[in-house]
Amino acid sequence: MSSYEARFKVWRGDVKGGGLEDFEIEVNDGEVVLDIIHRLQATQAPDLAVRWNCKAGKCGSCSAEINGRPRLMCMTRMSVFTKEETITVTPLRAFPVVRDLVTDVGFNYTKAREVPSFVPPEGVGPGEYRMMQEDVDRSQEFRKCIECFLCQDTCHVVRDHEENKPAFVGPRFLMRVAELDMHPLDAASESGLDRKKTAQDEHGLGYCNITKCCTEVCPEGIKITDNALIPLKERAVDRKYDPLVWLGSKIKRRSS
Amino acid sequence: MSVVDRQEWDVVVVGAGGAGLRAAIEARERGARTAVICKSLFGKAHTVMAEGGIAAAMANVNEHDNWQVHFRDTMRGGKFLNQWRMAELHAQEAPERVWELETWGALFDRTKEGKISQRNFGGHEYPRLAHVGDRTGLELIRTLQQKIVSLQQEDKRETGDYESRLKVFQECTVTRILKDGSRVSGVFAYERETGRFFVLEAPSVVISTGGIGKSFKVTSNSWEYTGDGHALALLAGAPLLNMEFVQFHPTGMVWPPSVKGILVTESVRGDGGVLRNSEGKRFMFDYIPDVFKEKYAESEEEGDRWYEDPDKNRRPPELLPRDEVARAINSEVKAGRGSPHGGVFLDVSTRMPAEVIRRRLPSMYHQFKELADVDITAEAMEVGPTCHYVMGGIAVESDTAAARGVPGLFAAGEVAGGMHGSNRLGGNSLSDLLVFGRRAGWHAAEYSAALAFERPAVDEVQVDTAAAEALRPFSAEGPAPGEPDGRPPENPYTLHQELQQTMNDLVGIIRREAEMEQALEKLADLRVRARRAGVEGHRQFNPGWHLALDLRNMLLVSECVARAALERSESRGGHTREDHPAMDRKWRRINLLCQLTDPTGGLAATDPVRGQIDLSRETTEPIRADLLALFEKEELVKYLAEEELYE
């Protein structure tokens, strides 16, 4: 097994400020950036703060920016860098720093609460749900989301625009609206809730100008823009400008 | 000293995985004001790692399935050591728990009729696992998380506050259960972000902290799995049950080293993947134990036909219970027939078209591609056993999930013992979380309501002691009492690595008496050194400090595992003794209980000889007659002692 010394710059600090700190550290075959951060903790910086959990790309905890790009540290192999390259690891930029690589991601939990939940259809009991695979495929794609919040971090609507945060839930939660809207048995409209309208009026869908940055950083490969945001926009536009389409869909849904 | 923030709740749930969240939902729906405390962010719990599915006899794919068949499979898988009443409740209630998830928005994969699809898994007679590709755990955790949000939205509408009846304290760690006499009075915890201490006062505490895998070097478990709940219960005076049973999942990744241990789902085999050694042989046919001889295929041809026609053929031995497969792989590697990196080959590439693999096993495809540069649609994976699950746990009452001996303490999920006996079947974990999470939340809420006007009081002295214990690593530079000056503090990371190596090497998949004795000595040594585990920096998000505190728990739990494993002189399920290789029917009725030697709180930490754990034996209740009648006499003879059969 070959190993070498790599140069790392890791942001260290807290709310009061901080800066990049230099490290030289051993790297072995097959390792990922998170392994190196752990080695720093164990050998050079025991109090280096970092979030992580599964180390297999399934929980979405170890999000950070590596050479400026939002990524999961556990899924970023060292072999994508040259041995000479200095690797810079910084906390997610769109969220306030707590300490070192740990940021306050509370924004996302606040926004999650603003999206109205699944509305179970009346008169369909547990065990009686019938849905065809092709009808759940679309929502299932969005439910692959591991809530790493990389899309929230990279989205230019909020990345450098704190002022947009109150009005914009971000790609992750617009996708959640789309997921519920495409759920074959969601009874929101029957209960008087129009998810397309709330996406537009309350969750800031209009801010999105489909630059696809969110899709590019998604570690799950979810086509957030093409499959969630654009269809949601199209539906919202129908709703907004064409009351007949709206009425038609309403009637169709009722009779099915 | 105790200037710590305090809040009053009716039920406190420690842990926010499947069991904890299901408990919290139940308690809140039954009217209890409920707090959930978890070490990670909300929605990141280890449950997300579960891949294969949720076992529930819904009979959507094979109409012959029912709870009795599921019960039988569970008892066989656990080699009849299961707390049978739990296995019964589990098999009966699992389908309702799965269907309920759909009403909360879960989207499982579907059958052609639009029902929930079910897949095959090791030890399950029929296709039984409700699943979403190979990311079922994520679906489960997200559904429960979103149900909690929906309850909070209801509370907001009624009270103006999302958190008035159900609050999640994320990134907080509980270090002590507080008691008023024998009863629970609350928990002592710290916020990881700030290091601030706080106390939640509550008559009921549900422990749902998962497992202990981080005490082993090669494990599929995340950093959270430090046995916190097991240790909290012990320290509160509750016994742990059958801690010798640790499941080594047969298929973890073996290469590259940095991902060694990461899980490769059993669905790979359930969907047709086969195990081969370096000679290309499907070796599992050589490892079918006598108790399972009639149930498994004798030839590759028969095994292959079973996927299409399960009524006329028997299942391939790749789908034996996990303990059997893990031991077989271990033997093949030991005999020199392993793969280049010390595992065996798991192959789907020659069994299914590439696009089917990508559709049915998307995360496995992704995981191997990203982490090992292996395309599983074109070549075989290398896999080997990895520490995955602990069957042992807090001893509980089957119906109520109440911990024995400590009124107000409840436990559900992996941290509770009994349900799975000596070995858990794949898929029975997620269903366990739901069935017993609900039961724990229900009974915790009831117990708490009964004490609404006489809530147990929190003892100031206990709060002070807990605070001092938690701060200890910051002043660890000083010499130990009676020791010469100038000894440097121990590095908690180093201690942790030594602990993992010890458990892996000496109390691992194959166990020997002398090695376990050696392990106990090493654990005593580590315990003494852990008292001097010191940390740099301050209390704000300091992982070195957190680890130093978790070490107490890992050391307690590891001693339980080692002592119980040394005591049980037979091989059964997740406990294999090289010096006692056979299952012994006399041991079937014996439970081993671990309790704290010194319940007054002294951890005997500086005494290397005396351990912290007392072990005792207990004979279990006979299995109820109507449940025994579900099995053929010829099968029971293999498991039950003569006298049990005639009772």
Residue B51's pLDDT band, with cuts at 50, 70 and 90, is confident
CB contact under 8 A, B135 and A144: yes
Residue type, A132: M
pLDDT at A1: 56
Residue pair A78/A31 in contact by the 8 Å Cβ criterion:
yes
pLDDT digits (tens, 9 = 90+) for A1-54: 589 999 999 999 999 999 999 999 999 988 999 999 999 999 999 999 999 998
Does B6 qualify as catalytic in the annotation?
no
Q: Does B113 reach chain A within 8 Å, measured CB to CB?
A: yes
| pLDDT on residue A29 | 87
Query: A47 vs chain B: nearest CA distance in angstroms?
Result: 5
Closest CA to B144 of A197, A117, A158, A107: A117
Q: How buried is residue A24: exposed, middle or buried, by Cβ count under 10 Å (0-12/13-18/19+)? A: exposed
pLDDT attached to residue A255: 43
Q: What is the pLDDT of residues B180-213, one digit of tens each?
A: 999 999 999 999 999 999 999 999 999 999 999 9
Give residue B481's pLDDT: 56
Separation in Å, CA of A121 to nearest CA in chain B = 8
Residues B171 and B192: beta-carbon distance below 8 Å? yes
Q: Report d(CA B187, CA B232) in Å as an integer.
A: 10
Q: Does A44 touch chain B (CB under 8 A)?
A: no
pLDDT band for position A251 (50/70/90)?
low
Euclidean distance between the first and the last CA atom of chain B, given in angstroms as a whole number: 59
Nearest to B258 among A31, A53, A57 (CB): A31
Q: What is the pLDDT of residues B421-443, one digit of tens each?
A: 999 999 999 999 999 999 999 99
Interface subset of A 105-134, CB within 8 angstroms of B: 105, 109, 112-113, 116-118, 120, 126-127, 129-133
Mean pLDDT of chain B: 94
Whether pLDDT at B600 is above 70: no
Confidence of residue B246 (pLDDT cuts 50, 70, 90): very high
Kindly report the number of other CB atoms within 10 A of residue B599's CB atom.
12
Residues 178-197 of B with CB under 8 A from A: 193
B438 touches chain A (CB under 8 A): no
Q: Is the pTM of this model over 0.90?
A: yes
pLDDT one-digit tens code per residue, A112-165: 999 999 999 999 999 999 999 999 999 999 999 999 999 999 999 999 899 999
pLDDT band, residue B644 (cuts 50/70/90): confident
Choose the catalytic residue: B28, B176, B230, B269. Answer: B269
Q: Are B361 and B267 in contact (CB under 8 A)?
A: yes
pLDDT the model gives residue B478 = 55
What is the predicted ipTM? 0.93
| pLDDT (0 to 100) of residue A256 | 39
Q: DSSP label at B205?
A: E
Taking 80 as the threshold, does the pLDDT of residue B606 lie above it? no
- And the tokens for B507? 């109390």
Active site residue B314: no
What percent of chain B is predicted at pLDDT more than 90?
Answer: 86
Sign of the four-CA dihedral A50, A55, A61, A65: positive
